Amino acid sequence: MDAPLLPLFPLSLVLLPGMPLPLHIFEERYKELMADVIPGKREFGVVLAKEEGIVNVGCTAVVQEVIRRYPDGQLDLVAVGQRRFEVESLDESEAYLRAEVGYFDDEDDAAPSQELRSKAVDACRPLLETEALPGGEFSRFDSPRLSFKLGQLITDVDRRQLLLSLRSEVERLEYLVKMLPDYTIQRERTALAKRVGPLNGHAKHVVNS
């Protein structure tokens, strides 16, 4: 028996396993998608949408809670990332996109050393400060899939997409340790520009009399 087609929800973000995903559903096709998956708590696939099309590696999600139902069928809900997949073929016979997919997990089950885990967490600390996130976020970073927890702090979709695609926890943590210092500097510059930008042309010169 063939595996059922996976409903796809293309978005301009990358979902990671275990990551919460708040959604406001307003398009008719996605109202239909949710009507099909919510009653049976079925998975749907979240894939990164780019100008040239969707990326072929994504992450499934399951609706955890429906926050609000609107009279016209719109929904506010929270879904949570589940398992990774690779798109093998697409089906456009329904209102929303579906796909034949192959699910995958890590090919290397070696546990990362505590030293590597600590390096990855330490590399994230400046980013937490830059993004003005509470330090309590680190209480969540005791997961066997630490890389996916840390990866939620990365807003750059290409970097997060690469993290999603890597098939080794050791490899993902090594990637984060290498990537995060430069990425954090970029985010710091962006944050500074946002703070300084509104002042340009409006600063007052104060003269002591």
pLDDT tens figures, 97-121: 999 999 999 998 889 999 999 999 9
Percent of the chain at pLDDT > 70 equals: 86
What's the pLDDT score for residue 195? 67
pLDDT band at 2 (very low <50, low <70, confident <90, very high): low
First to last CA, the chain: 87
Give one word for 53, left, alpha or beta, with left for phi > 0 and alpha for psi -120 to 50.
left
CA distances from 162 to 29, 44, 103 (A): 29, 21, 17
Q: What are phi and psi of 176, to 5 degrees?
A: -65, -45
What's the pLDDT score for residue 127? 85
Instruction: Return the structure tokens found at 204.
Output: 């007052």
91 or 189, which is more confident? Answer: 91
pLDDT band at 194 (very low <50, low <70, confident <90, very high): confident
Q: How do strand 98-104 and strand 6-11 relate by DSSP bridges?
A: antiparallel
Strand intervals (E) in 26-177: 44-50, 53-54, 57-69, 75-91, 98-104
Instruction: Provide the Cα torsion 43, 44, 48, 52; round to 10°.
Output: 150
The pTM assigned to this predicted structure is: 0.87
Sort 52 into a burial class: Cβ within 10 Å, 0-12 / 13-18 / 19+. exposed
What's the pLDDT score for residue 156? 94
- Mean pLDDT for all residues in the chain: 88
Q: Return the CATH number of the domain spanning residue range 6-104.
A: 2.30.130.40
Q: What is the rounded distance in angstroms from the CA atom of residue 75 to the CA atom of residue 84?
A: 25
Q: Do residues 75 and 33 make contact, with C-beta atoms less than 8 angstroms apart?
A: no
pLDDT band at 84 (very low <50, low <70, confident <90, very high): very high
Q: What is the rounded distance in angstroms from the CA atom of residue 179 to the CA atom of residue 143?
A: 20
What ranges do the domains of the chain cover?
Answer: 6-104, 114-196
State which amino acid sits at residue 128: L
What's the pLDDT score for residue 193? 74
| Residue 138 pLDDT > 80 | no
